[in-house]
């Protein structure tokens, strides 16, 4: 039964660093509105179970309906930019996230609330400001994994998942940050299970964008 009636245990709120999305062999394309600002962008809000399993594509009869979020599109473009090629407004990315993940928590967050919740979380957390306040700048320099992790924990009160990817120059670089929310997507919690991280302990690059 994929009706989505089965409640998830928690949500991952995942943000991506655009510099690291772009610094891979696959590269990236800027969305049609232009180069996104040098800030974290939303990747998605993902319902999950405590054992690490997650539901996906729960409702084929619930397509993305831009008319439900027309007033949010400006914020979506600046805070949830699509970096995959070919360039587009971002609609394909939002549609993918809604269909794959959003439809699995529809009983908790309808489509409008799904997008609005992610946008509001992004604003509330201010991940880049948190890191910069701790002296961790997106300047291509290297930082200890524990410095990044501790700064986020100090600001949010909770352990987060930090993922790195490998850049063209083979460095481990800050790529995505996972914060966890309770089953109603209301408050932050310690992640019941952390995603695979693959960061280097001593040398994590924080690329410029
Ligand atoms: P990757 O394999 O690149 O880590 O993830 C590919 C996609 O699978 C993600 O963009 C996301 O849609 C989904 N995904 C990966 N890991 C998780 C997870 O732990 N929980 C959920 N809910 N989705 C995940
Ligand atoms: P996931 O299944 O990993 O949540 O979503 C990733 C899908 O969204 C892939 O098909 C990817 O090509 C597309 N996509 C579009 N723009 C972006 C982006 O900026 N970041 C990521 N991670 N995926 C994007
Ligand atoms: P360290 O390796 O700096 O002594 O440990 C850092 C802490 O963060 C450990 O508790 C470790 O388990 C945790 N951690 C989670 N993911 C990673 C990762 O990808 N790299 C490193 N170095 N530590 C990680």
Ligand 1 atom with minimal separation from the 43 CA: 10
Instruction: In whole angstroms, give the CA distance from residue 128 to residue 15.
Output: 11
Place of tokens 């179970």: 49
Q: Which pLDDT band holds residue 6 (cuts at 50, 70, 90)?
A: low
> Which three-class secondary structure string do you get for 94-150?
HHHHHHHCHHHCCCCCCHHHHHHHHHHHHHHHCHHHHHHHCCCCCCCEEECHHHHHH
State the average pLDDT over residues 180-202: 95
Instruction: In whole angstroms, give the CA distance from residue 64 to residue 91.
Output: 9
- Give the pLDDT confidence score for residue 1 in this predicted structure: 41
- Quote the percentage of the chain above a pLDDT of 90: 93
Measured from CB, residues less than 6 Å from any atom of ligand 2 are 16, 21, 43-44, 82-84, 93, 96-97, 100
Q: Is 101 a catalytic residue?
A: yes
Structure confidence by residue, pLDDT tens digits, 109-156: 999 999 999 999 999 999 999 999 999 999 999 999 999 999 999 999
Q: Is 99 a catalytic residue?
A: no
- Give the pLDDT confidence score for residue 2 in this predicted structure: 47
| Ligand 1 contacts CB of residue 54 (under 6 A) | yes
| Ligand 3 contacts CB of residue 198 (under 6 A) | yes
Phi, psi of 168 (to 5 degrees): -60, -30
- Residue 110 tokens read as 């309808």
Question: Average model confidence (pLDDT) for the chain?
Answer: 95
Ligand 1 atom with minimal separation from the 100 CA: 12
- Give the pLDDT confidence score for residue 7 in this predicted structure: 81
10-206: CATH topology: Ribonuclease Rh; Chain A (3.90.730)
**pTM for the whole thing?**
0.90
Please, where are the H alpha helices in 23-79? 73-79
Options 9, 61, 96, 97, the catalytic residue: 97
Task: Tell me the C-alpha to C-alpha distance, in Å, between residue 172 and each of 115, 139, 146, 150.
Answer: 31, 15, 14, 18
State the average pLDDT over residues 49-59: 96
Place of tokens 């394909």: 92
Residues whose CB is less than 8 angstroms from the CB of residue 7 and which lie 6 or more positions away in sequence, other chains included = 107, 108, 183
Q: Which pLDDT band holds residue 4 (cuts at 50, 70, 90)?
A: very low
- Quote the percentage of the chain above a pLDDT of 70: 97
| Ligand 3 contacts CB of residue 146 (under 6 A) | yes
State the average pLDDT over residues 201-207: 97
Q: Is 43 a catalytic residue?
A: yes
């Amino acid at each position: 039964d994929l009706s989505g009636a089965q409640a998830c245990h928690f949500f991952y709120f995942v943000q991506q660093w655009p510099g690291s999305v772009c610094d891979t062999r696959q590269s990236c394309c800027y969305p049609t509105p232009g180069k996104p600002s040098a800030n974290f962008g939303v990747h998605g809000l993902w319902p999950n179970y405590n054992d690490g399993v997650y539901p996906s594509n729960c409702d084929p009869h619930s397509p993305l309906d831009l008319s439900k979020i027309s007033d949010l599109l400006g914020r979506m473009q600046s805070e949830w930019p699509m970096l995959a090629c070919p360039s587009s407004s971002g609609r394909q990315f939002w549609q993918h996230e809604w269909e794959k993940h959003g439809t699995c928590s529809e009983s908790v967050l309808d489509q409008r609330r799904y997008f609005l919740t992610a946008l509001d979380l992004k604003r509330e957390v201010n991940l880049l400001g948190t890191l910069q306040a701790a002296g961790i700048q997106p300047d291509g320099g290297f930082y200890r994994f524990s410095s990044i992790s501790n700064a986020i924990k100090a600001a949010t009160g909770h352990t987060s998942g930090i993922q790195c990817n490998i850049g063209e120059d083979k460095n481990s670089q800050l790529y995505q940050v996972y914060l966890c929310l309770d089953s109603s997507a209301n408050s932050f919690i310690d992640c019941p299970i952390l995603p695979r991280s693959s960061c280097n302990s001593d040398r994590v690059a924080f690329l410029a964008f």
